[in-house]
Chain A
Amino acid sequence: MEEAQRRTEAASERYEGSLRVVNARGKIADKSWRFDRLGSHGASRAVLRFTSPAEVRGVALLIVNHPDRASDQWMWTPAIARERRIALQDRSARFFGTDFSFEDLEERDVGQYDYTLLGEEALGSVACWRIEARPKGTRASQYTRSRVWVRKDNYAYAQIENDIKTQLVRRLKYDEIENVQGIWTARVLEMTDLRENSRTTLRLEKLQYNVPMRSEDFTLQALRREQ
């Protein structure tokens, strides 16, 4: 897992995400956001700002990741010109009607989990290691445990399944893996909420690593400024 993390380290990341949410009844909702991240893994800050639909344009989430504990998150709502801290117990809530929870938007540092190798398994035609991850005591998480499929050929994640107690609740699939500036990256992520029977597909466009960014653009003040 450390090697998988090492291979994805970058000074920064930027992409434009287009999302499609398909609920249990087949209804479709499209959204998009712009994502900027400064730093890597447990020592990073990220801002995610909706660009569509029009009614949520400008709504932003600031995520401050920590190496040794859960992230701090604040959501900025331009209509009321205020930020709201997302408390730990709120992290299991769906993020703006998508199948990603607030916690799923955090960056997970490998040091916050204990790992057990469960075996080897092919996902489709791709050979993977199947690894169980359990959050350490210092890391509050909605998930009791996760199973991570790591590709043997490039150490990229192929799939994550998340359990609450013994129930499988969310599955995240990584598709269309490409080498972007030396980092194997999934261009399409599909999150399925198995309790709601709905899924969200996130497509990463205009993806760039190591873009020059300033730390001052990842603060509460910046959320207000960049509205």
Chain B
Amino acid sequence: MRLARSAFLVGLAILLGTLPAVEASAQVFSQRGFVEGRMLVYPQTAPNDDRQVGADVLLRWEASVGPASWLALAGAFDARADTLGQVDESWRVDWDDRTRLRPALSIRRASAALHRGGLMLEVGKQFVRWGKTDILNPTDRFAPRDFMDVVVNDFLGVIAARLTYEREGRSIDLVWVPRFTPSRLPLPDRRWSVWPQATDLVAVVDGGVTFPGGSQSGARWSQVASGFEYSLSFYDGYNHLPLFDASFQPAPPSIEVRTVFPRMRMYGGDAAWPLKWLTVKGEIGYFTSTDPRADQYGEYVIQVERQRGEWLFIGGYAGEFVTRRGGEVSFAPDRGLTKSVLGRASYTIDPNRSVSFDGAVRQNGHGLWLEGEYSQAMGQHFRATVAGNLIRGEDDDFFGHFRRNSHISLTLRCSF
């Protein structure tokens, strides 16, 4: 079944790759995409997962068309298969990214953008990205992600109406999301699981997921000047990352864990200041909640960036302060990156080859994550990437939870 689906995806990619860009008098159709196969090797087993080798294949196809000068339609489609059991085997086409498994077929984007002058309204499933820093973005509240593999993650679209007005370097961005999209979590029985583990005395029972029914909204004011740019942002809605609400069930004795997404309000800001020798970027978000189970806290990032020839260096610090403890266990990769020194370095060897290094080292020395990647293009369509992830840490550290998940990946992508 999985082999058949993989073969189907490759065939579909070949078919899509033959679609030409069409240009008519008032209508431009363009498309792009890739099919990507990835093999993962974990040198160590995990306590709840002894699989050490896996593979997955992803076909992504994106298309856009402009039927009129004031209208742009954009769509994107994903199809997947894997050997790790993280992809749903049904052929249902998913739209809202609420399933626990990755959907085999999904609409990644489907939006219409209407624009006139500096005003633009985009409606539908789309990507809304806020913030300026690079490794961690506290203000990026409309950007849930697929965290199934935690350190290797991808953004999910949100179903939203977004109104933007831009004029002479100033812009206001208003976003309304009628239907909540959560981040996708690691599966409970896989190595990236963040669930409480069962003990000999008591079982842990999945109490299901409760999705909030209300809408989310946000506003962002941005100003771009010649030597400085900044934004102020506000968000009112729900955290796309969950809390695990645990309750004891006496008969039979068990702990029922429900996954809930608490209300969240954010007051944030970000800025970039290009100086003569380097660029300074900063971002901060303060998060409050009416849900007593959730923490109230602030996250901030300060980083510097420097391009030197073919090298790009980014280094900074991510911090956190908590003003109220909620008490429940949460899954929060963003907070897991805080209280850390963050860094990125990339080097373009030549037009076809590059290497990059990413990392986060905990300030108390209790955890670290390092990633190294070598990538080489082959011809006009193919690219091979070898990456290694090293994860180490203590039991009580976010990285430490995944210390047996260091891995190597080999990815082959064919773009069309």
The answer to whether A and B belong to the same complex is yes
A residues adjacent to B (C-beta < 8 A): 21, 23, 27, 29-30, 51-55, 57-58, 66, 69, 72, 78, 80-82, 85, 87-90, 92-94, 97-98, 140, 214, 216, 219-221, 225-227
CB of A84 to closest CB in B, whole Å: 8
Please determine whether B380 and A227 come into contact, CB atoms closer than 8 angstroms: no
CA distance A85 to B132 in the complex (A): 9
Please determine whether B351 and A54 come into contact, CB atoms closer than 8 angstroms: no
A-B contact pairs, 10 of them (CB 8 A): A27-B352, A54-B32, A54-B33, A55-B383, A69-B226, A80-B155, A90-B307, A219-B118, A221-B118, A221-B164
Q: Which residues of A contact B118 (CB under 8 A)?
A: 216, 219, 221
B residues adjacent to A (C-beta < 8 A): 17, 21, 30, 32-34, 62, 64, 69, 72, 74, 113, 115-118, 120, 122, 127, 129, 155, 164, 166, 171, 224, 226, 229, 272, 274-279, 305-307, 309-310, 312, 348, 350-352, 377, 380-381, 383, 413, 415-416
Please determine whether A87 and B351 come into contact, CB atoms closer than 8 angstroms: no
CB of B137 to closest CB in A, whole Å: 9
Please determine whether A88 and B276 come into contact, CB atoms closer than 8 angstroms: yes
Partner of A57, one of B32, B122, B155: B32
CB of A45 to closest CB in B, whole Å: 12
Partner of B380, one of A52, A92, A140, A226: A52
| Contact A227:B415 (CB < 8 A) given known A81-B129, A81-B155, A221-B171 | no
Which 10 interchain pairs have the tightest Cβ spacing? A97-B351, A54-B415, A87-B274, A90-B307, A55-B415, A81-B127, A87-B279, A29-B351, A57-B32, A221-B166
Please determine whether A58 and B307 come into contact, CB atoms closer than 8 angstroms: no
Q: Which residues of B contact A23 (CB under 8 A)?
A: 350-351
Q: Which residues of B contact A227 (CB under 8 A)?
A: 64, 74
Q: Which residues of B contact A55 (CB under 8 A)?
A: 34, 377, 381, 383, 413, 415
Residue of A at shortest CB range from B143?
A81
Residue of A at shortest CB range from B64?
A227
CA distance A97 to B354 in the complex (A): 10
Partner of B166, one of A58, A78, A82, A220: A220
CB of B277 to closest CB in A, whole Å: 6
Q: Which residues of B contact A140 (CB under 8 A)?
A: 276
CB of A61 to closest CB in B, whole Å: 15
CB of A33 to closest CB in B, whole Å: 13
Please determine whether A225 and B120 come into contact, CB atoms closer than 8 angstroms: yes
CA distance A128 to B275 in the complex (A): 39
CA distance A53 to B416 in the complex (A): 8
Residue of B at shortest CB range from A57?
B32
Residue of A at shortest CB range from B32?
A57
Please determine whether B415 and A53 come into contact, CB atoms closer than 8 angstroms: yes
CA distance A191 to B91 in the complex (A): 51
Which of B17, B275, B415 has its CB near the most chain A CB atoms (within 10 A)? B415
Residue of A at shortest CB range from B354?
A97
CA distance A94 to B307 in the complex (A): 11
Please determine whether A93 and B309 come into contact, CB atoms closer than 8 angstroms: yes
CA distance A52 to B380 in the complex (A): 8
Please determine whether B115 and A225 come into contact, CB atoms closer than 8 angstroms: yes
CB of B167 to closest CB in A, whole Å: 9
Q: Which residues of B contact A21 (CB under 8 A)?
A: 351
Residue of A at shortest CB range from B127?
A81
Partner of A94, one of B171, B276, B348: B348
Please determine whether A85 and B272 come into contact, CB atoms closer than 8 angstroms: yes
